[in-house]
Every structure is written in structure tokens, then in C-alpha cells.
Amino acid sequence: MEKVTPFLMFQDGNAEEAMNYYTSLIEDSAITSITRYGANEAGDEGTVMLATFSLKGQEFMCIDSNVKHDFTFTPSFSIYLTCTSEEELDELYGKLIQDGQALMSAGDYGFSKKFGWLNDRFGISWQLNLPH
């Protein structure tokens, strides 16, 4: 085995928008490659055939699926961020929750100083933690 990489499949042609959004929120993050569908290919021209991006050094892959599926993202798989300050957690939570859904609002649940869990506007689940 060479490596393990989380893979995100978007169904509404918004993989690139999501990557741009995530890399703008998290420092030391970048889109590293994008291959787009061309004319007369299996996907909508210009959408993401395959892309890679990194968030704070963790690499992800993603696509815009040209096939509609009966499933989407689920909170049972989430991106877990360990924050360094309450301000950082609050800022990220506030930005990620826009047009999203709170699963656990940012607060003290006893197992850490502060914790929040949400689904963002793209359906990706995020857990933000500030350890004791």
C-alpha cells in the first residue's frame, strides 16, 4: 500500500467551490491539482474530473460525479480539526455553519474545553475541538 487519502464525491458540480472555500479558511492549505472534464467527455465540461487539495498538510481527493446517487455525505465521516484557541474555533465554526446545519453547537461538553460539530453547506461534516 502506498498511501491513504480521504476522497470526497460532490454531485452538484461544486467540488471546486468547496475546495476554494476550505483552503481559504484553513492556513497552510492549497489546491494542488485539478483535472477538468472536457467537451464530449463523461462529465459536464469544466467540472472536476479529479482534484487534490490539502488542509494543513492532510491531502484530500475529490470529484464532481456526473452520476446522481441516492446517497450523499454523512456525519459518520467528518473532518476533525484540533484548534489552538477558542477564537479560532469560534471563527471556523461561524464560517462553516453558514447555510449548513449544527449537529452540536460550539460549547463545553466536558470532554474538551470547547467542541462543535456541523455539516457545512456542501454537506461535509466537521468536528472542531479545543482540547483542555
Domains of the chain: 7-64 (3.30.720.100), 79-130 (3.30.720.110)
Report the chain's mean pLDDT, rounded to a whole number: 97
Lowest mean pLDDT of 15-24, 62-71, 113-122, name the range.
62-71
pLDDT band at 7 (very low <50, low <70, confident <90, very high): very high
- pTM > 0.85: yes or no: yes
Q: In sequence order, what E strands does the chain have?
A: 7-10, 30-36, 48-55, 58-64, 78-82, 101-107, 114-119, 125-130
